[in-house]
Structure 1
């Protein structure tokens, strides 16, 4: 018999679900920005995104892998890489929290985690996981109500 979430965890599950949903979208958006950054840098476009400096407020400047400090301003391309990495870690934490409270099989944890690796997949995974969690939460609510009335 598969494990079921605990009735006492209902408030924690609601919070974990909101946290997961927010970070699924944040991770999805950051992954799309990362793909854009990679296209700009590693294709014949050969540019990085800079904020400020002599090239203007927001500019695409030639990528210089030999001396990356040759330009002034903030390298948003590097910022996107770093932010995506750390936000994916937060996404994994949100994944783990929801997964553990819902007491799902480990394979579901892996499915959710992979949602933050493939562009657009986090939006799709979020849709299905949120629906599943909401459905199971409704069942849990009805089970809690039945326990109160007995």
Structure 2
């Protein structure tokens, strides 16, 4: 689909909804990932003893990552992503700071392709 073609409003709505779900899931996953990395640095490099509730951060990231994967499975077919885009976007949810960059990149691509405001 080229950017000159007009996108049907109903399709724009479906893609926009999927993109919003993806953006929220990616942001939450990225935040938990950064918290997890900070926790690991404090525990393993600094040697700081972490309280028991800190282990819940890893579990929360795992749950957020599963929701993130669901958001990709929702958005990717609607946006007609290639397998490479699916894979790199899914991988971004487990690499610190790459997740934020990838979310911004994919959001801008989809907005431009589907003429979303």
> Which of the five TM-score ranges fits, normalised by the shorter chain?
0.7 to 0.9
1:78 matched to which residue of 2?
55
TM-score with structure 1 setting the length: 0.67
Does the alignment pair 1:137 with 2:114? yes
- Whichever structure has more strand as a proportion of its residues is 1
Alignment check: 8 A CA contact 2:12 2:115 kept: no
User: Aligned residues, how many?
Assistant: 110
Of 11, 14, 29, which residue of structure 1 is paired with 2:13?
Answer: 11
**Distance in 2 of aligned mates of 1:124 and 1:10:** 23
Name the SS for the 1:47 alignment partner: coil
Runs of 4+ in 1 over 4 A off after TM superposition: none
Shift of 1:85: 0.5
Deviation sequence 1:10-45 (CA, Å, 0-9, x none): 222111100111111111110001111111222242
2:86 matched to which residue of 1?
109
Name the SS for the 1:104 alignment partner: coil
TM-score with structure 2 setting the length: 0.85
1:43 matched to which residue of 2?
45
Greater relative CO, 1 or 2 (CA 8 Å, sep 6+): 2
Unaligned runs of at least 5 residues, structure 1? 51-74, 140-150
Q: Which has the larger radius of gyration?
A: 1
1:123 matched to which residue of 2?
100
**Distance in 2 of aligned mates of 1:26 and 1:86:** 10
